[in-house]
Amino acid sequence: MKAEYINPFLEAATGVIEQVIQVRPSTGQLAIQEMVFAKNYTWILIGLNGQLQGEIVFGLSDHVAMHLVSAMMGGYVIHEVDEMARSAISELGNMISGNASTLFYNVGIHVDITPPIVVEEVSWIAQYASKRALTIPLMMEGIGDLDLQVIIAS
Pick the CATH number of 3-152 from 2.60.120.10, 1.10.3210.10, 3.40.1550.10, 3.30.930.10: 3.40.1550.10
Phi, psi of 151, deg, nearest 5: -110, 115
pLDDT band of 101, cuts 50, 70, 90: very high
Contacts of 121 (CB under 8 A, 6+ apart): none
pLDDT at 38 over 90: no
d(CA 47, CA 10): 17
Q: Taking a C-beta distance cutoff of 8 angstroms, is the pair 121, 29 a contact?
A: no
Global model pTM greater than 0.85: yes
pLDDT at 128 over 70: no
Q: How big is the chain, counted in residues?
A: 154
Over residues 40-59, the pLDDT tens digits come to 788 899 999 999 998 898 98
Contacts of 84 (CB under 8 A, 6+ apart): 69
* Alpha helical stretches, state H, 1-154: 7-21, 62-72, 83-106
Domain boundaries, the chain: 3-152
